[in-house]
Chain A
């Protein structure tokens, strides 16, 4: 895996500058039952295609942001700051 990411704060950097936070998931609300909670904790969609995912600029501004990346080509369509 080797590609460039554009940190919304710092600019274009090597992927090795970043930490990967996995696909964006939706945290349950209310009182999830065991199945819902386990699905949230342990299951991922693992799409082959464009995915919204978390990245952390570990060797830079140390901010989390969201990227849209094609998991089959590593092409990053866009990145956006959060919060």
Chain B
């Protein structure tokens, strides 16, 4: 492990070494290292194989922006090793190379690929024959791609914490401009959030000798109350929402004002074999030395088009790297830095640029020349540090509606129009040097605050001052590409070469938007950070258009790659469980989702459970029913207007069945209404309908302004239905209440203690047998269940689940709303015209539509049917009309042992809706004959139920 001498600004803590593994080999680094810096110190230069050609790739940016060092960390693919802090014990492996990073058989595509790897080959080749696509796909997927996903679902589990943050000002980017903006806005009283991708704010200050200023500004910001989020990437702009990803936390930041201070991205140069490991951005090389004490190379050449490259060259000299030459594309190299370089013994070559990299596995030498030929020189080196100008990071601003124009003087695009509420500062706004960037930050902070009514006394003065001090940059425009031979990459992520883009243009893909899609340039993980400008330049050169016309594409979110789990991971699902749930588990119930609820589907033997209900009794947990309390002087009036039958004349202690309708008379829910006292009604709904019914009730209540309240008590109460011929024997053992026929008639409600628990007993029956629905406080649900189960054990009582219940209610032809009804089902279609009371004085919901349909035969009618043989038609099977065409639909079907036949319900055309009518059901390939049976299969007269 070799490191440079310690410097005050470095990020590593040399007193705290840590160990991790890379491809199975142990690596030692220091606390504060990134994976790449620790591996660099260990002498490693190759971190990945490229996407298509499997060429070895080294570090490019040194700060987590490029896709050159994607690795797998502890099973998570796609981690950027140059931005990821090293942690003790982590397991890092390479991606996309087999059998190893050093020897990758697929790199043959680089040497022998020829016509198989040309642009568009994928579209042109694998399209025929079509039937072979699955085979092609398998091979291609193995050959390309960036890592493997974990295979088992439990390994992929990802929990995202969603945090909502509303603030006055969001500052994107924590460089000098962003920090200054945050400080200023916060000092003026704004609530400010600042996010930065690095482990600490400071941006370029941190590795360009300004770390003290950076820490000073960060302290100032925190003191002023700024919430500083580090290792936190803003990934997009969606109206006024900016998602900021910080590890497994997704901050959903909604700021009244946004300040984009995302800085600028140093650009690479395009020339032959410009991807050799050892060719990197000069800023990245400088970072490695300044932050991690790692020498980026032994012998370096610096290629630049601007002063930043010269500055970086001086920094490399200072850290002890032998800089053999600086090739500056500008023929007149600015005197100051050039003189200092020459003083340090560095040869400064004006007007030259790299035209070819040399080396087999890594850079061994570079040839520099004049861009149009001539003046060639080959210089041996293991590091080529490149500075081809800086492209402001505009994507987030552009996503938010900003516009950009090409600025020839800076050889880059810059923002021209910002949408309302957005401000820009620092390099993103065209203020490149440290001092003007800081000033622009202060101004943006003040302007954002002022737009929120928090004025700075000298705002105008500062605006004028900043306007006057924008220094002219001296940047040479890099050539679209330079030199001949080798592969000249425009996009390292996607392995797109100059040749590919040229060919795309030659084939007619001249527009940037089209060539992007054809060649996939800018579509890799680094989102065009290093390829957008070079590819636009190349298209401009090929088409003869200027860059303004070629334009810029807007990178789509996410601007920074994030695990899919952050965006689409399983949200915290509201799994509702009844208070008795634990008992069902103990009893071995098969538990399934039913809407939001986890419900006992059966307890292992649905048929025996069904039989028990008919022969002795069964208990079923119906705590899932929606339960509302409607109370108030006008509660009866409210319910009269909501239900098609009359509710207000219900006597206290009595129960009525009701369906809820829309104004188009469609059935939306059903349940029972029990009047508890003069002003209080207890309303039950379907298990899945509680929320919707509560909304429906409160909506109309708000509109009508009646004196009543609606309270949802669904999850506060438990309910257990006990039904069967021996139910009275069971109840006699647990309650003193007289549950006999005369004392407790059908549709009565009574309060009593059952098993010591205070309960409300409703004499109703969904399953057809004599039954009682017993409601109690949720906390006592389990005690009630146990009391009933224990009392009934020796009487043959069994718990029964959802499936037996469905059979039992089908025997009785009781409908399930949503199963046997659809969005077209009126009470007339659902064969319950008796529920409609048109003589009621109130204008209840659905009344007009019902009046308009009164006397008309409904187009379809819900009927029961009994099948001729034992085949059970699938729900949704087609009922055929006389002419053999589809005319109706099976809504429910089950085998009933009690009826000893397959029974069901179906919506059939009017002419078939007669007792004894024969219907044909088409279920896939098979034909099932059935007979319409309009009255219930079990207890048609309701004697059992009322008994």
Give bound CA distance, A37 to B843, whole Å.
Answer: 13
Contact A34:B252 (CB < 8 A) given known A2-B238, A21-B699, A82-B703: no
Sort chain A's interface into a size bin. 20 to 34
Is the beta-carbon distance between A54 and B699 smaller than 8 angstroms?
Answer: yes
For A3-42 the 0/1 string (1 means CB < 8 A from B) is: 1100000001010000101000001110110100100111
Q: Distance in Å from the Cβ of A11 to the closest Cβ of chain B?
A: 10
Contact A41:B663 (CB < 8 A) given known A4-B166, A31-B848: yes
Q: Which residues of B contact A32 (CB under 8 A)?
A: 848
Q: Which residues of A contact B852 (CB under 8 A)?
A: 34, 37
A74 contacts the other chain (Cβ, under 8 Å)? yes
Contact A63:B702 (CB < 8 A) given known A19-B695, A37-B663: yes
Is the beta-carbon distance between A2 and B699 smaller than 8 angstroms?
Answer: no
Q: Which residues of A contact B702 (CB under 8 A)?
A: 63-65, 82-83
For A46-83 the 0/1 string (1 means CB < 8 A from B) is: 00000000101010001111000000001000000011
Give bound CA distance, A64 to B704, whole Å.
Answer: 12
B701 contacts the other chain (Cβ, under 8 Å)? yes
Give bound CA distance, A4 to B240, whole Å.
Answer: 9
Give bound CA distance, A28 to B847, whole Å.
Answer: 12
Q: Distance in Å from the Cβ of A69 to the closest Cβ of chain B?
A: 13
Is the beta-carbon distance between B164 and A14 smaller than 8 angstroms?
Answer: yes
For B262-278 the 0/1 string (1 means CB < 8 A from A) is: 00000000000000000
Contact A4:B254 (CB < 8 A) given known A32-B848, A82-B703: yes
Give bound CA distance, A12 to B699, whole Å.
Answer: 21
Q: Distance in Å from the Cβ of B711 to the closest Cβ of chain A?
A: 10
Give bound CA distance, A56 to B699, whole Å.
Answer: 8
Q: Distance in Å from the Cβ of B641 to the closest Cβ of chain A?
A: 11
B307 contacts the other chain (Cβ, under 8 Å)? no
Q: Distance in Å from the Cβ of A29 to the closest Cβ of chain B?
A: 8
For B840-874 the 0/1 string (1 means CB < 8 A from A) is: 00010000110110000000000000000000000
Q: Which residues of B contact A56 (CB under 8 A)?
A: 695, 698-699
Is the beta-carbon distance between B705 and A12 smaller than 8 angstroms?
Answer: no
For B218-249 the 0/1 string (1 means CB < 8 A from A) is: 00000000000000000000111100000000
Q: Which residues of B contact A37 (CB under 8 A)?
A: 663, 848-849, 852
Give bound CA distance, A82 to B705, whole Å.
Answer: 8
Q: Distance in Å from the Cβ of A46 to the closest Cβ of chain B?
A: 19
**CB nearest neighbor in A for B238:** A2
**CB nearest neighbor in B for A33:** B852
Q: Which residues of B contact A41 (CB under 8 A)?
A: 662-664, 849
Is the beta-carbon distance between B701 and A83 smaller than 8 angstroms?
Answer: yes
Q: Distance in Å from the Cβ of B480 to the closest Cβ of chain A?
A: 39
Q: Which residues of B contact A82 (CB under 8 A)?
A: 702-703, 705
Contact partner of B240 (CB less than 8 A), chosen from A2, A29, A58, is A2
Q: Which residues of A contact B694 (CB under 8 A)?
A: 62
**CB nearest neighbor in B for A74:** B239
Is the beta-carbon distance between A64 and B238 smaller than 8 angstroms?
Answer: no
Interface residues in B677-723 (C-beta closer than 8 Å to A): 694-695, 698-699, 701-703, 705, 712
**CB nearest neighbor in A for B239:** A2
Give bound CA distance, A71 to B7, whole Å.
Answer: 57
Q: Which residues of A contact B851 (CB under 8 A)?
A: 31
Q: Distance in Å from the Cβ of A40 to the closest Cβ of chain B?
A: 7
Give bound CA distance, A31 to B848, whole Å.
Answer: 7
**CB nearest neighbor in A for B710:** A62
Q: Which residues of A contact B239 (CB under 8 A)?
A: 1-3, 74
Is the beta-carbon distance between B848 and A64 smaller than 8 angstroms?
Answer: no
Q: Which residues of A contact B701 (CB under 8 A)?
A: 83
For B150-171 the 0/1 string (1 means CB < 8 A from A) is: 0000000000000010100000
**CB nearest neighbor in A for B254:** A4
Give bound CA distance, A31 to B849, whole Å.
Answer: 10
Q: Distance in Å from the Cβ of B527 to the closest Cβ of chain A?
A: 21
**CB nearest neighbor in A for B666:** A41
Give bound CA distance, A40 to B105, whole Å.
Answer: 69
Q: Which residues of A contact B695 (CB under 8 A)?
A: 19, 56, 58, 62
**CB nearest neighbor in A for B711:** A62
Give bound CA distance, A34 to B843, whole Å.
Answer: 16
Q: Which residues of A contact B712 (CB under 8 A)?
A: 62
**CB nearest neighbor in A for B705:** A83
Q: Distance in Å from the Cβ of A22 to the closest Cβ of chain B?
A: 10
Give bound CA distance, A82 to B849, whole Å.
Answer: 27
Given A21-B699, A41-B662, 7 additional A-B pairs, CB 8 A: A4-B240, A37-B848, A37-B849, A41-B664, A41-B849, A62-B695, A82-B702
A-B contact pairs, 22 of them (CB 8 A): A2-B240, A3-B240, A4-B166, A4-B254, A29-B843, A37-B848, A37-B852, A40-B663, A41-B664, A41-B849, A42-B664, A54-B699, A56-B695, A56-B698, A58-B695, A62-B694, A62-B695, A62-B698, A63-B698, A63-B702, A64-B703, A74-B239
Binding site for B on A (CB under 8 A): 1-4, 12, 14, 19, 21, 27-29, 31-32, 34, 37, 40-42, 54, 56, 58, 62-65, 74, 82-83
Interface pairs A-B: 3 shortest CB-CB = A64-B702, A82-B702, A2-B239
